[in-house]
Structure 1
Amino acid sequence: MTHRTDVLVVGGGATGAGIARDLALRGVDVTLADRGGLSSGTTGRSHGLLHSGARYAEADEVGARECISENRILREVAGHCIGDTGGLFVQLATDDPDYFEAKLAACHEYDIPAEVISGEEACEHVPDLSPEVERAMVVPDAVVYPSRLVAANAADVERHGGTVLRNAPLESFTVDDGRITGTRLGGDAGLDVEATYVVNATGAWAGQVAAEAGVDVEMRPTSGVMVSVDYTDLGPVLNRCRDPADGDIIIPHDDQVVLGTTSNVVDDPDDYPKREEEVEKMFDECGDMLPAVRECETLRAWWGVRPLYAPDEDARGSQSGGQGANRGISRGFFVLDHADEVENFASVVGGKLTSYRLMAEQTADLVADRLGVDEPCRTAEEPLPGANDPGTLDQFVSTYDAVSPTDEDVVADD
């Protein structure tokens, strides 16, 4: 069986689903395919933080500005795909006060709302907060429920005439005279696809997918652990105000919190060590901010893999277990036009869940240009379907098999 489409997007995480939605809204016939259920890769195995930009402010102006801009957009269009929790950056007695001041100044420069409160005021916000907190910075962080986000994007693809294929792993590309002329999808799909243009949005697996077309995309994936524990009504996201390091973020859900995370370079995003000591480290490090979590029951633990682009990581000297820039924290994303090798092929790599919509917009702009489509992006203004109804969103999650460990407690509870 042969399926014909204008654009095939390989990879059903947030960025792939966002690209497919963006193109569908521009009137392009698009097909989205993933090897498993949607959000089954990096997106659904993240810590689910909607960044305000404060995390990157003192070191990466572009990333910080992107985050606060996308934060504001997603609050408007994503509804119950977002939890509006707010966030605190807390300075403990052992943390460098100059780092706090540099972050605060950068937030003000980049239009990221940031208010300083005392340690006592912070403890009024979070009663179990460590007495070692000397002061805190209030910022507009929030929580993303990635399974809802991806499923709602996919639903809009089909609502606008596109096709969404689950359990459709890429088996091969046929490349003829510098073009992809055919794609074989296995699994439940079991079909051949003829697409005018192909987008590789497979994140940490982008190098493997690109290689099927004879294109070299060098990735540097890093793994990180998240641990969900039984803790009710935290309130804001907690961030340790120090150079990014292991165990410096706590994400609130209704009756749980997620502790994260580590960073270790891995060779294979499907096969890498998952060490119990990483789990234990989350209790040790996150417990410095919120000591009560050290006594909490572990409900689940999972690892995700970041889709870091090797040339960017090399430029910053990233390494396993480092701090700051050396930790392998993705600061930017890259839309790679492979036209010099394969005319109708592009990859998008790097980035953060917070910037998925912007990544999709810039990728869709490239594809629209190649196809001669003169329609603007609408995803910054057009609300996601079902955004204001948690029940509808969770039906989408079921339809697209998008349940993920990041938010399975929230989706299940609704």
Structure 2
Amino acid sequence: MTETDVVVIGGGATGVGVARDLAMRGVDVVLCERGGLGAGTTGRSHGLLHSGARYATADPEGAAECIRESRVLRDIAGEAVERTGGLFVQLPDDDPAAFDARIEACRDVGVPTETLSADAARETEPELASDVRRAFRVPDGVIYPSRLVAATAESARQHGADVRPNAPVTDIVVTEGTVTAVETDAERIEADHVVNAGGAWAGRIAELAGVEVPMAPTMGVMVAVDVGGVDSVVNRCRPPDDGDIVVPHVDRVVLGTTSTPVEDPEEFSTDEAAVEAMLSEGAAMVPAVADADVVDVYWGVRPLYAGDDGGRGRDASRGFQVHDHDVARLTTVTGGKLTTYRLMAEAVSDAVCERLGVTEPCRTADAELPAGDAEKLDALVEEFDAAGPADTDIVG
């Protein structure tokens, strides 16, 4: 049996972020993940480091969070991110008024933009379609999720956290309305508090404690194609829709994504038509996609919260939520974006520390992750069993 202050259930970006934040405040933490770190949503994302421009029109608060957090990650995350920059492009079928409105919304929330003519945009990115009407530049980037998770977990460990991949939690022990312990397949861990950071599986984890967290998971497909020469993230300037993002890697691009509601984050049917749609939509922005070889196809499930209005699919909030429960000593985090994982972890850690009587402030925004050496970082990816399809061509 182990005794600790806090058990964190879930080893995606948010879970390891919580473990790091709490450990840096002097809290004793054990993190349990049923598989390798980042094996859920985190490692199966498109890896876009959002500037906030995508959300500026419909969700200004979320956009402002993205631009702040993307700047933090550029400062602290080393080889786990690339500062590629990004373009929002207007194609002939896209509403010019929406283009102008998005630029104005970006300025309102502090996302810097630079408007480019069609010729200037193609000079910046020669692979862009010949019918691009105009574009604007934003500070998007690329996240390598496996590296980010491994670096965050290593920082947590350096500050005293016990990080346990491949340690599935089988039960949450509730005694007289209070969480007192968790049980894994190997042992019982007694704790003063438990954090449910299970992502799309948060509802199932909450059920172990007899509480309900209504999730609204959606699946999305990512298609990697053998296209080089694209240096910036390319976004279609229209309301968020299927296939409107092209994320560059060294010698390929990742096309994404769809948003289809699913009932089960593990059992869902994939659709070849969705793959074809990604290729078609990607080729509209980057024509070389049409004739390129598909080198990988993978699916991820977003941990969206149903909320009071029961929103589903693209109608569900992309913001994050921190939940208290009828049982004491349990906190759940849902929703959010990979770009804002550190902020999510800070909000969770603030709530937990208030209950534990810990007054140390958050320091994670100012402390660099151990991510400056790619070779050492990739060794950590292997140690934490954190490799995932989102960056398999980069890591190692």
- TM-score of the alignment, normalized to the shorter chain, above 0.5: yes
Q: Does 1:263 align with 2:262?
A: no
Q: Does 1:138 align with 2:121?
A: no
> Structure 1: how far apart are the matches of 2:284 and 2:76?
36
Q: State the shift of 1:100 in Å.
A: 0.5
Q: State the shift of 1:328 in Å.
A: 4.0
Instruction: Count the aligned residue pairs.
Output: 396
8 Å Cα contact 1:50/1:71 also seen in 2 = yes
Partner of 2:54: 55
8 Å Cα contact 2:305/2:335 also seen in 1 = yes
> Structure 2: how far apart are the matches of 1:318 and 1:130?
33
Q: Does 1:221 align with 2:205?
A: no
Moved over 4 A (4+): none
Residue 276 to residue 90, structure 1, CA distance change in 2 (3 Å)? same
Q: State the shift of 1:173 in Å.
A: 1.3
Map residues 305-320 of structure 1 onto 2, 5 A cutoff: 305-311=301-307, 314=310, 317-319=311-313
Partner amino acid, structure 2, of 1:303: W
* Secondary structure of the corresponding residue to residue 182 of structure 1: strand
8 Å Cα contact 1:330/1:352 also seen in 2 = no
Partner of 1:92: 91
Partner of 1:6: 5
> Structure 1: how far apart are the matches of 2:309 and 2:36?
29
Identity over the aligned pairs, expressed in percent? 55
Partner amino acid, structure 2, of 1:88: L
Q: Does 1:355 align with 2:340?
A: yes
Map residues 25-174 of structure 1 onto 2, 5 A cutoff: 25-174=24-173
Q: State the shift of 1:311 in Å.
A: 1.1
Q: State the shift of 1:231 in Å.
A: 1.2
Q: State the shift of 1:356 in Å.
A: 0.3
Partner amino acid, structure 2, of 1:400: F
8 Å Cα contact 2:304/2:318 also seen in 1 = no
Partner amino acid, structure 2, of 1:335: V
* Secondary structure of the corresponding residue to residue 307 of structure 2: helix
* Secondary structure of the corresponding residue to residue 311 of structure 1: coil
Partner of 2:354: 369
Partner of 1:389: 373
Partner of 2:206: 210
> Structure 1: how far apart are the matches of 2:386 and 2:122?
37
Q: Does 1:198 align with 2:200?
A: no
* Secondary structure of the corresponding residue to residue 283 of structure 1: helix
> Structure 1: how far apart are the matches of 2:309 and 2:232?
31
> Structure 1: how far apart are the matches of 2:181 and 2:254?
42
> Structure 1: how far apart are the matches of 2:101 and 2:373?
40
Which of 337, 348, 351 is the aligned partner of 2:324? 337
> Structure 1: how far apart are the matches of 2:163 and 2:106?
39
Which of 284, 297, 303 is the aligned partner of 2:299? 303
> Structure 2: how far apart are the matches of 1:333 and 1:393?
28
* Secondary structure of the corresponding residue to residue 4 of structure 1: strand
* Secondary structure of the corresponding residue to residue 214 of structure 1: coil
> Structure 2: how far apart are the matches of 1:162 and 1:312?
35
* Secondary structure of the corresponding residue to residue 180 of structure 1: strand
* Secondary structure of the corresponding residue to residue 138 of structure 1: strand
* Secondary structure of the corresponding residue to residue 411 of structure 1: coil
Partner amino acid, structure 2, of 1:142: G
Which of 250, 266, 283 is the aligned partner of 1:287? 283
> Structure 1: how far apart are the matches of 2:350 and 2:246?
35
Q: State the shift of 1:294 in Å.
A: 1.1
* Secondary structure of the corresponding residue to residue 384 of structure 1: coil
Structure 1 gaps, min length 5 = 320-326
8 Å Cα contact 2:216/2:312 also seen in 1 = no
Residue 330 to residue 410, structure 1, CA distance change in 2 (3 Å)? farther
Map Cα deviations across residues 131-155 of structure 1 (whole Å, 9 max, x no partner): 1100001000000011111111111
> Structure 1: how far apart are the matches of 2:144 and 2:16?
15
Residue 149 to residue 45, structure 1, CA distance change in 2 (3 Å)? same
Partner amino acid, structure 2, of 1:304: G
Partner of 1:272: 268
* Secondary structure of the corresponding residue to residue 152 of structure 1: helix
Which of 233, 238, 259 is the aligned partner of 1:237? 233
8 Å Cα contact 1:233/1:253 also seen in 2 = no
Map residues 392-407 of structure 1 onto 2, 5 A cutoff: 392-407=376-391
Partner of 1:322: none
TM-score, normalization by structure 1: 0.94
* Secondary structure of the corresponding residue to residue 19 of structure 1: helix
Partner amino acid, structure 2, of 1:234: V
Residue 312 to residue 400, structure 1, CA distance change in 2 (3 Å)? farther
Map Cα deviations across residues 153-203 of structure 1 (whole Å, 9 max, x no partner): 1111111111011111111111111111221112xxx11111110000011
